[in-house]
Amino acid sequence: MIYPIVAYGDPVLRKEAKDIKQGEIDVKKLSEDMFETMYSASGVGLAAPQIGLNIRMFVVDGTPINQNAEEGEEIDHSLTGFKKVFINAEILEESGEEWAYEEGCLSIPGIRADVYRPETVKIKYLDTDWVEHTEEYSGIAARIIQHEYDHIDGILFTDHLTPLKKQMLKKKLNNIQKGIVDAEYKMKFYK
């Protein structure tokens, strides 16, 4: 099932999401729906608040980034097989140099901007079989995790931009909020 993607301006994107209790929801079915929704919008990550659910869950699949790499472009090995579901995730540590990477967000179509974040992230989470994992990621995989993890804390990538850049994007963001936006997938606007 493909969900409409919640657009910038909806308060659900600004809430700190709640942990999921085991057996409370069908996380396997939900993760399938989230992947389907994400692929239909050509995204590489999708967090539950983006489909209107105030729960700590997100899915990622960074493999298309390497598949779409142009000839001569370097392959990011952090993305090999990087298709995962993160439930009740907790970032334990972020380390390394901050680096700039151009981010975008399915809830904020038409806007992309460089965001600085630390290179490496150590994260603890549950998978859909409720097995706990603690793993470390770097490169673009870490970046996707950091972006999606922000979503379950009610943070958007635009929050990380400089005041000047935010000012420059203000009109575009207001338009998205009003539903004046061109997206190639179904969105849900807050009224």
Minimum CB distance to Ni ion, residue 106 (Å): 6
Q: Which is nearer to Ni ion, 105 or 142 (CB)?
A: 105
Minimum CB distance to Ni ion, residue 23 (Å): 28
Site for Ni ion in 88-127 (CB under 5 A): 105
148 is known as an active-site residue:
yes
Q: Which is nearer to Ni ion, 30 or 105 (CB)?
A: 105
- Alpha carbon distance 173, 146 (integer Å): 22
Residue nearest to Ni ion (CB): 105
Q: Which is nearer to Ni ion, 105 or 141 (CB)?
A: 105
* Alpha helices (H) in the chain, listed in sequence order: 27-40, 63-67, 139-152, 163-178
CB atoms within 10 A of CB 73: 10
Q: Which residues pair with 87 in a beta bridge?
A: 57, 126
Q: How many residues touch Ni ion (CB under 5 A)?
A: 1
- Give 21-69 as a DSSP string: PTTSS-HHHHHHHHHHHHHHTT-SEEEGGGGT--BSEEEEE-HHHHHTP
Q: Name the active-site residue from 24, 74, 148, 184.
A: 148
User: By CB under 5 A, is residue 13 in contact with Ni ion?
Assistant: no
Chain contacts with Ni ion (rule: CB under 5 A): 105
Catalytic residue positions? 148
